[in-house]
Amino acid sequence: MAGTSINGVGSGYDIDSIVTALVNAQKAPKSNQISTQKSTTNTTLSGIGSLKSALSTFQTALGKLNGTDSTAFAGLAVKSSNADALTAALGTGASAGTYNIEVKNLATSSKIATQYVDKSTSFGAGSLTIKQGSSTYNISVKAGASLSDIRDSINSQLKDSGFTANIITDSTGPRLVLGSSVTGAGSDISVTTSGDSSLSVLAIDGAGTKASATSGGYIDKPAMNASYTIDGLEMSSSVNKISSAISGVELSLVAEGKSTLTVDKNTDGLKTSVQSFVDAYNALITSINSLTKVTNTTDSSGNPTTTAAALASDSMTRNLLSGLHSQLVGGSSNGGSIKLLSQLGISTKNDGTLQVDSDKLDKALEKNFASVQGFFSGDGGLLSRMSKSLDIYTQTNGLLDQRTSALNGTLSDLADQQIKLDNRMTKLTETLMAKYTAMDTLVAQLKATRSSVLTTLNALNKTSSSDS
């Protein structure tokens, strides 16, 4: 109605403007309330998202430092002078020491090949018996099977046992080649056949015969143990990763060669890891500070103004910080002689971030290097305790997820309120337009009546004048 009305034909009033002003006066308080709540909710929602991201980054950093395979806070470090021949990793129970190691040969696996097989061969029914050590595997062969069919059967049935099969072809013809991931003397592969005589070309003695054009056998050499020396002591191993030779040290033989292996204090590594923890913690606190700060400024007129960040008065964030601080200053029962961060020269600044006194840290690491790992790492270490204190917030359907869901619910409710308000204002507009239009029509009618009466009176006056 409002869009098709003709304003003030009878009254001369701008009905559209009057109705718009009245509707806006009704709408403004609730509309402003909805807009303010929506802005506040979106700001808080953005702050929660930023907080969740910062916590995730922090927990990821702690996880890397405290992972199952991490040696970030190990008191000792191992180094090989020739990583091309030998590498090593520390386990538990290692002691400082230096070892001269020579790798004479690596542990090898069995690799065997059949004699040449005619390309057009179609095998009869039977089976292959593949033996390695005390293990035996049977592969059935259907009548009419090709060499490719046999290869595929071996790969599909024995892949979980470490076997691989392939076909190598040269100008003379194809051969079936088998390999294994198992290394060491006695792991040679042999193949015997039964059934149709055509399968006999696939028989292989993997330990005593070298493959030739007319005989299956091993390629290059039979499987063998690794041979190496530690400080001149002759050693042998069926595998190239050795954890039993030196207590607490896992050796990885890479190639023939000599190397000096040194196990010593991990001072530089510990300093780097401590600084990594401090940097990760400071990044988190800096993010939280930016989300909770209150800024007092003065406007152009000299009046004081206060600006609050998204989570400035958020109780959940205060509780989170309190929990982190409790873990930070709490004593550790895992750290041996180290109980507090302050013993490592780490203190808290006024803004909540940490600072490291490098000289104090150096002295503490020199004296207590063996205790650092227990203080930071493990189930009861500082890293684990801090991360677990945040799980209640960051886990699926944790406090942050619940808070996000509640805020999204608030936005949805505000959107519904806005729709209902708009509908009410539309109806109010229609009602007011109808009333004012009716009023305008009545005024127009009254004016028309007045005009008619005046015209009649004027006519009567003229008639009366002419009669006299």
Q: What is the DSSP string of 2-43?
A: TTT--TTTTT---HHHHHHHHHHHHHHHHHHHHHHHHHHHHH
Q: Is the pLDDT of residue 305 over 90?
A: no
Q: How far is CA 447 from CA 95, 370, 444, in A?
A: 113, 105, 5
**Tokens 């002419």 sit on residue:** 466
Helix 358-376 and helix 267-292: axis angle, to 10°? 90
3-state SS of 376-444?
HCCCCCHHHHHHHHHHHHHCCCCHHHHHHHHHHHHHHHHHHHHHHHHHHHHHHHHHHHHHHHHHHHHHH
**Tokens 């190639």 sit on residue:** 255
C-alpha 63/C-alpha 233 separation (Å) is 40
Which pLDDT band holds residue 2 (cuts at 50, 70, 90)? very low
C-alpha 377/C-alpha 65 separation (Å) is 8
Q: Is the pLDDT of residue 219 over 90?
A: yes
C-alpha 71/C-alpha 337 separation (Å) is 20
The segment with the largest mean pLDDT, out of 208-217, 280-289, 332-341, is 280-289
pLDDT tens for residues 402-426? 999 999 999 999 999 999 999 999 9
| Tokens standing for residue 197 | 């005589």
Q: Is the pLDDT of residue 180 over 80?
A: yes
Torsion (CA) 421, 426, 430, 435 in degrees, nearest 10:
30
Q: Is the pLDDT of residue 217 over 90?
A: yes
At 137, is the secondary structure helix, strand, or coil? strand
Choice between 391 and 338, residue whose per-residue pLDDT is larger: 391
Any idea where the domains of the chain sit in the sequence? 1-75+266-437, 76-106+225-265, 109-218
At 365, is the secondary structure helix, strand, or coil? helix
Give the percent of the chain with pLDDT over 90.
67
pLDDT at residue 68, as a whole number: 65
Exposure of 425 by Cβ count < 10 A (0-12 exposed, 13-18 middle, 19+ buried)?
Answer: middle
Mean pLDDT across the chain: 90
Q: Do residues 113 and 175 make contact, with C-beta atoms less than 8 angstroms apart?
A: yes
Choice between 11 and 365, residue whose per-residue pLDDT is larger: 365
Rounded to an integer, the average pLDDT of 323-344 is: 82
pLDDT at residue 451, as a whole number: 77
Q: Do residues 387 and 59 make contact, with C-beta atoms less than 8 angstroms apart?
A: yes
pLDDT at residue 379, as a whole number: 79
Which pLDDT band holds residue 60 (cuts at 50, 70, 90)? very high
Choice between 305 and 229, residue whose per-residue pLDDT is larger: 229
pTM greater than 0.75 (yes/no): no
pLDDT tens for residues 38-55? 999 999 999 999 999 999
Which pLDDT band holds residue 93 (cuts at 50, 70, 90)? confident
Q: Is the pLDDT of residue 382 over 70?
A: yes
Choice between 184 and 92, residue whose per-residue pLDDT is larger: 184
DSSP states of 300-315:
TTS-EEEEE-TTTT-H
Q: Do residues 265 and 96 make contact, with C-beta atoms less than 8 angstroms apart?
A: yes
pLDDT at residue 3, as a whole number: 45
What percent of the residues of the chain are helix, what percent strand, and what percent coil, each to the nearest 5?
45, 25, 30
pLDDT tens for residues 99-133? 999 999 999 999 999 999 998 899 999 999 999 99
Residues 6+ away with beta carbon under 8 Å from 361: 271, 274, 344, 345, 346
Query: In CATH, which of 1.20.120, 3.90.320, 3.90.79, 2.60.40 is domain 109-218?
Result: 2.60.40
pLDDT at residue 242, as a whole number: 97
pLDDT at residue 4, as a whole number: 44
pLDDT at residue 94, as a whole number: 86
**Cβ–Cβ contacts within 10 Å for residue 422, how many?**
12
pLDDT at residue 440, as a whole number: 78
Which pLDDT band holds residue 58 (cuts at 50, 70, 90)? very high
C-alpha 348/C-alpha 359 separation (Å) is 17
Q: How far is CA 373 from CA 17, 67, 382, in A?
A: 77, 12, 10
Q: How many residues does the chain have?
A: 468
pLDDT at residue 5, as a whole number: 47
Read off φ and ψ for residue 111, nearest 5 degrees. -140, 120
Give the percent of the chain with pLDDT over 70.
95
Q: Is the pLDDT of residue 285 over 90?
A: yes
DSSP bridge partners of 354: 348
Which pLDDT band holds residue 333 (cuts at 50, 70, 90)? low
pLDDT at residue 388, as a whole number: 92
pLDDT at residue 329, as a whole number: 86
pLDDT tens for residues 452-465? 888 877 777 777 66
C-alpha 184/C-alpha 243 separation (Å) is 16
C-alpha 250/C-alpha 227 separation (Å) is 16
Choice between 466 and 310, residue whose per-residue pLDDT is larger: 310
pLDDT at residue 49, as a whole number: 94
The segment with the largest mean pLDDT, out of 205-214, 235-244, 301-310, 381-390, is 235-244
Rounded to an integer, the average pLDDT of 322-346 is: 83
Which pLDDT band holds residue 79 (cuts at 50, 70, 90)? very high
pLDDT at residue 82, as a whole number: 97
Which pLDDT band holds residue 158 (cuts at 50, 70, 90)? very high
Q: Is the pLDDT of residue 370 over 90?
A: no
| Tokens standing for residue 334 | 């895992």
| Tokens standing for residue 46 | 């953005």
DSSP bridge partners of 265: 76
**Tokens 């009704």 sit on residue:** 26
Q: How far is CA 394 from CA 62, 289, 377, in A?
A: 14, 19, 21
Choice between 455 and 152, residue whose per-residue pLDDT is larger: 152
Which pLDDT band holds residue 380 (cuts at 50, 70, 90)? confident
